[in-house]
Amino acid sequence: MTELLTSDEGQTALELARTAIEEYLGSGEVIKPDGVPGLPPVFRNNRGVFVTLNNRSGPRRELRGCIGRPYPVMPLGEAIVISAINAATEDPRFMPVTLNELESLEIEVTVLTTPHRLEARPEELPGKIEVGRHGLIVQKGPYSGLLLPQVAVENDFDAEEFLGQTCMKAGLSPDAWFESDTEVFAFEGQIFH
């Protein structure tokens, strides 16, 4: 089982993400997590992570950027810094964030468990998914799509709709999860905001 972060470590993750974005937008510098004094040891463990930016200046929250690393390919601290900068400057759905608008953005860091393949016949897949607990990755050939656990809750999806939406995120038809060559992976996320 993957080690959970404490609420203090979650607060540190949020501060690290905001500092990384501020520094990069202000000077073009990418901060080094190792240089942050008192960074807890868990930030040196390889973990998957996503950083989500939401604009909270209007009547409701609006997505402003979301990028991450679904697999534990680098230390958590480094993954947070890179994902935060990428979410602010490289999400192809949005113009890059400006330093002036950073104050009106809410930052969310989701630390992931390692994704595992759901071994089930297609018709059994919805029963293997716990909405609100699981995030999903759908892969078929060169196509891949990921939705974080909170997406299903925020949009009131049931398990079947969550599967369909993840397929569409991958650029597939919503019922692609029924096809035998489509793989579905689940993971959990610890959300801090």
Number of domains in the chain: 2
**pLDDT (average), residues 107-134:** 95
Q: How far, in Å, CA of 20 to CA of 11, rounded? A: 14
Minimum mean pLDDT among 2-11, 94-103, 140-149: which range?
2-11
Whether this prediction's pTM lies above 0.85 is answered by yes
> CA–CA separation, 168 vs 188, rounded Å?
20
Task: Identify the burial level of 15 via C-beta atoms within 10 angstroms of its C-beta, where 0-12 means exposed, 13-18 middle and 19 or more buried.
Answer: middle
Q: Could you list the residue range(s) of the whole structural domain that residue 129 is in?
A: 116-188
Q: Is residue 94 one of the residues assigned to a domain?
A: yes
Task: Tell me the CATH number at 108.
Answer: 3.30.700.20
Query: Per-residue confidence at 2, pLDDT binned at 50, 70, 90?
Result: low
Same domain flag for 89 and 134 = no
